[in-house]
Every structure is written in C-alpha cells, then in structure tokens.
Amino acid sequence: MIPPLNPLHVFDVAARHLSFTRAAAELRVTQPAISRQITTLEGFLGIRLFERDKHGLRLTSEGEEFQRQIAPAFRIIANATAGVMATGKAEPLKIRVYTTFAAKWLITRLPSFYVAYPNIRLNISNTVAPIDFEKDKVDLAVQFGAGKWPGVEAELLFKDVIQPICSPALLKRARLAELDDLRKVQLLHSHYRRADWPDWLMAVKRPDLLTDAGVSFPSSVLTYQAAVEGVGVAVGQLFLLRKEIADGTLVPLFNAPFERPLAHYVAWPRNRPLGRKARSFVHWLQAKIEDSAASPDRAY
Amino acid sequence: MIPPLNPLHVFDVAARHLSFTRAAAELRVTQPAISRQITTLEGFLGIRLFERDKHGLRLTSEGEEFQRQIAPAFRIIANATAGVMATGKAEPLKIRVYTTFAAKWLITRLPSFYVAYPNIRLNISNTVAPIDFEKDKVDLAVQFGAGKWPGVEAELLFKDVIQPICSPALLKRARLAELDDLRKVQLLHSHYRRADWPDWLMAVKRPDLLTDAGVSFPSSVLTYQAAVEGVGVAVGQLFLLRKEIADGTLVPLFNAPFERPLAHYVAWPRNRPLGRKARSFVHWLQAKIEDSAASPDRAY
DNA sequence: TAGGGTCATGACAATATGTAATGACCTTAG
DNA sequence: CTAAGGTCATTACATATTGTCATGACCCTA
C-alpha cells in the first residue's frame, strides 16, 4: 500500500531536521504546511510518528524505524531524477522573443542565465511579429500587448513607457527645444509599432505634428540604430534603451515620457503545464528585469 | 531534486502496464488522469518518457532506464508502510454508536468487517445520547438527526421510517385492527425518542390517541424487546427491525409507515482529516447498509 | 514577566488532480 | 473497405489537496 507521497516526503525531511520549522524552510513552504502534511500521514497510517511535547519534537520509535526505512527511497528517486535529467536527451527550452527585446536586453544578460542554470539549454528564436502558440511550437514567448490572450497564461515583465529619443548630435544640430521643432527632423517609425508616434503625440496633445514623412524600419532595433546614427527622431521604449540613455548615446526629448496600458509579458499556452526549466527561466527573467529596473546606470 | 511524487508513482504503474488505461484501472482513476500526470512528469523532467505512436505505447530508452531505477523506491515505500501499519502500535479506530444501532444492526455484521479488514482494530463504545466530538475523543460516530452539525462532516446511512409494531401474540389477543384499538394496549416509549409516538400519530392525524399511560425505557433496544415480549405497542425504526419483521417476531401495524426528515449518519469532526481506517469503515458501513436495504429477508 | 522560539488551528486562497465528454488515430473483424 | 472497439489526448469543468496568514498555546531563557 502506497501512502500519500507528498506527506511522506515531508515526513522524511521533517524527521531529518527534527523540526517542522526547519523542514518548512528546506521545502520552501510555511510551518503550518508541514504540520498539516504530517497530520495527514499520521492519520493515514493510524500511528503517531512524532512526539510533540515539552522538550520539542521527537520521533516515536515507530516513526524512527519508518523514517530509517523510507529514507533510501527518496535517495533513489533523487538520484534517478538527476540521472535522467542529465542525459542530455532533455529537450532544449524553446523560447521566442522579439528581435528588439533580444538585441536590446536579453542577449547581453544570457550569460548570467547559463551560469545560474548550467544544464538548461536554450533554443531562442526571434521574430518581429506576435506569436501563435498553435503554430510555433515554443515553450515560452515574450509577448507585447495588454496581457490577455485566449488560452494563454502571461506574467508581466515591464510596462511600455515611450518617449521620443535622438542622438545628442542631432539634438544639437536641430536645436530640438520644443515640440514644434519636430517639424525640422525626420520621424523614425517601426513597422510593428506604428502606434508609437500617434500615441505619444496624442499624449502631449499635439496630434497635428504627425506626418507621413519619415522613414520606417521593419524592426525597432533598426529604428533605434537609425536614431543613434542621427538619422532622425524615434519614439523609444525607455526600458530597452536604459543603457543608451545612461551613457549618452541617445537623449530623451521634451521630458515627457508616456506610459501606455500595454506591456511586455512572458507567455505560455495555458493547457501545457510549465515545466521545471520553463519555470526557472521565467523566474530568472523576472529577477533580471527587476535588477535592471532598480539600477538604471548599470543596465548589465 | 525530488520530482512531483504522485506523477512519479503514476509513471511507475503506467510503465509496468505499458498502458494508461490499465494503469488507470489499477489506480482507480480515469485514463485522462493518467495522461495528465505523465504529461506533468515529462514536463518537469523535460524528457519524453513514453513514445505514443502507431503501435500503442512504448517507453523511450530514458523512460525505461528511469522506471528501472525508481521502481525499487516504491517497493521500499510499500514495504515500510505495510510494516509500520502492522506494528500493532496503530491506534484502534474509535467509534461511538447508539446502543440500539449496535444491538439491532451493527453487532451481527461486525464479523464481516473483521474478515474484510483483518488489521483494523475497532474500539466501539455505545451510548444512548448524542455525541460531542470535543469531549468524546472518537474518530467516527453514528449520529441521529438532520445531518447538519456545526464543525461536523456527515454522510447519510439510512432514513428514519417509523411505524407501530407489536408481537403477533398481542396483535391477536388485542385484535388491533384500527387506530382506535390502540386505546386497548400499552404504548411503549423510548427516552431518547420521545417524539416517535407523537410524530407518528400526527402523521395519521390522530394526535388524540396519545396518552401519558404506557411504559418508557431508557433505550430503544429495550422498548423493542418489550414489544417482542408482548408488553405493548412500540413505534419501531423499520430499518433496524427488518429481521424481526421478516421472521414474524414483530408485526408492523396499520400499514402506515411514516418517513421523518431525520436519519442516521456517520459523522466525524471536520477539522481532523479522515484516516485510512476510518475511511474503510465508512465505506464498509455504507456498503452493508445498502446490502441490507436491498435484501430485506436476509438481513444478515 | 517579557521576548523569542516551538507546533497547532481556523478561515481562506491557490494549486493539483480528477472527471465527463469528445476527438483523432490505429487495429481487427465482418 | 467500412464499422466496431480499442488506444491516448484534449477541453471544460468539478473536487481535493496543499499552502498561507493570522493567530493561539506552550515552553524556554534572560
């Protein structure tokens, strides 16, 4: 007869520590969770495994014997699991991200991921267009939008704060001091972010400044590169341009950042439960995003 | 690293059978449940364990190796569990029932329980009064009432159908043909079921027949015994008197059974989760109740 | 006796697991 | 070559299990 296995595992840990609190710490849950699991196991077996009295916690003699017997089972399981996960037969984690996100943020930080998780192999593809989980067989994707897609689970990465940016040279040359000065320069657009200029201009109540003139690029990386080269003024995603802004390669204009109700999210299909590796990647992403939000000047 | 244990167990079983459907049967769940558990485990490990294709199910080579390694762990666990449960240190299952239920139904069927569950020891106490789980430290109780008690979980056993009964001798002697004939005999009462006569008489619209005369016993067993002896007419719980009625020891009168909105329940305190043994007893109880409801003439 | 540690408990939230209904696919029998 | 009956997967949903937070009771130490 197989007892409830999670309680059994909890028992193994708690018996090693002779402390529910420390077992809770090891298993990264709270102490009451341990208490309940043990109660469940004792209830199932019909036997007290721990003696809880004056001087803290002790195993009963049956508990001691039981723990002695089952402990090897968990060693076996842990070893076998480590073994199978190390076969290299493990599928690499497939991730799809936007070209711009990859170029401006992800790539420089990837080494840190490989250090933290040496045996997770990544397979990162990038695209400029939104992702359809049905077609693209990926485990995770970085998506831009409102955070709600049918059949898709998503967690926020960072909000979309936009502001015009240009090179310091252009700023100087064109004397961009007020909004009307925008008429003097090229406006740089990105195919998949056509709304950037209209939205920002609307936010500063000058939709009249929108012109059809200007250059359009198939990806924001290129648009931003053009801005760096001094070709014109682009509307930049501030989060992705922290480094350029911090080191002066790009200058934000008019002191008018605008936060849209859109954001970048990590997303995955709701039906498939997230694997261990995918979960690790999501955690790493979130932690790194937080880092770079916290220390703007040391973006990486 | 410890993988999700329930999925792991399911994997062990499924790998033995090389069939999700048969594994489902062994574990007494449905096939989709197995499918999902395996998916979860594969997701966690990042490795396919089964090959599902044309010719049914096969283990991948990693799956085969993995199963070979973990199988012993479950053998160990099963053995250790059997061992600890057989130490005899197991607390007996404490059950409290009404004296009448014990005498008229439970005791004759207990041998069948011991046969079915040879290593569950029972500690049955009986009482005539309702149970307070706070005070009486019992695992299970058979309770009579409406099925709702604060902090108590309960499952229906059988409904309360009552009807006057007496011995065939008294029936003949007193010529009990119609309701008014009740005036000619003693009415037998039970302390804890004082409402039996009033309720039944109300049901047949003759509350006027209720008299203070008659004899009262501290337990229904005694009341029924008195009825068997021909002392008078009692209101009987038909479910508990099936045998007596079937073999003619007692005769139901006036062909007017009355079903009250009350019943016997198995009950247990909501906070403590039911142990394995308690669960077994509840299942056995319910099955036996169903049996005896189905075959009235072979009550045991 | 106050402070800090232990485990237990009740109410509730989150997650995991199970189900029913159904579909796609393969094998076998007619 | 279908039709029947088996396989597993998938969806939408229900239920059970597990975990949390906020406590409380108790014991130890200072």
Residues A146 and A237 reside in one and the same domain:
yes
Average pLDDT value over all residues in chain B:
86
- pLDDT category at A267 given cuts 50, 70, 90 is confident
Residues A142 and A13 reside in one and the same domain:
no
Other C-beta atoms closer than 10 Å to the C-beta of A265 total 21
Residues B101 and B211 reside in one and the same domain:
yes
Q: Which domain holds residue B49?
A: 5-85
d(CA B164, CA B177): 12
Highest-confidence segment of A26-35, A79-88, A254-263: A26-35
Residues B242 and B222 reside in one and the same domain:
yes
Among the candidates B85, B105, B130, a domain finishes at: B85
Residues B16 and B67 reside in one and the same domain:
yes
- pLDDT higher at A149 or B145: B145
Residues A130 and A34 reside in one and the same domain:
no
Among the candidates B38, B59, B85, a domain finishes at: B85
Q: How many angstroms is C1' of D3 away from CA of B20?
A: 25
d(CA B262, CA A94): 61
The CATH number assigned to the domain holding B123 equals 3.40.190.290
Is B132's pLDDT higher than 70?
no
d(CA A186, CA A229): 12
The predicted model gives A174-178 an average pLDDT of 82
Residues A63 and A95 reside in one and the same domain:
no
Q: Work out if B56's Cβ lies within 7 angstroms of strand D.
A: yes
Is A138's pLDDT higher than 90?
no
Identify the three-state secondary structure at position B91.
coil
**What are the tens digits of pLDDT across the range A114-136?**
888 887 888 888 877 766 665 66
Residue B241 sits at the vertex; the CA angle it makes with B239 and B244, to the nearest 5 degrees, is 145
Residues B49 and B117 reside in one and the same domain:
no
The CATH number assigned to the domain holding B39 equals 1.10.10.10
Residue numbers of A between 52 and 91 with CB closer than 8 Å to B: 62, 65-66, 69-70, 72-74, 76-85, 87, 89-91
Give Cα B7 distance to the centre of its chain.
31
Residues B30 and B145 reside in one and the same domain:
no
**What are the tens digits of pLDDT across the range B257-271?**
999 988 998 888 877
Nearest to B12 by CA among B33, B36, B41: B41
Among the candidates A85, A111, A139, a domain finishes at: A85
Specify the number of domains making up chain A.
2
Residues B124 and B142 reside in one and the same domain:
yes
Residues A133 and A42 reside in one and the same domain:
no
Identify the three-state secondary structure at position B220.
helix
Residues A166 and A252 reside in one and the same domain:
yes
Q: Which nucleotides of D are covered by protein (CB under 7 A)?
A: 6-12, 17-22, 26-28
- What are B73's two structure tokens? 């762990």
Nearest to B155 by CA among B8, B278, B22: B278
Nearest to A138 by CA among A90, A89, A95, A91: A95
d(CA A211, CA B244): 99
Q: Which residues contact B115 (CB under 8 A, 6 or more apart)?
A: none
pTM of the entire predicted model: 0.79
pLDDT at B136: 65
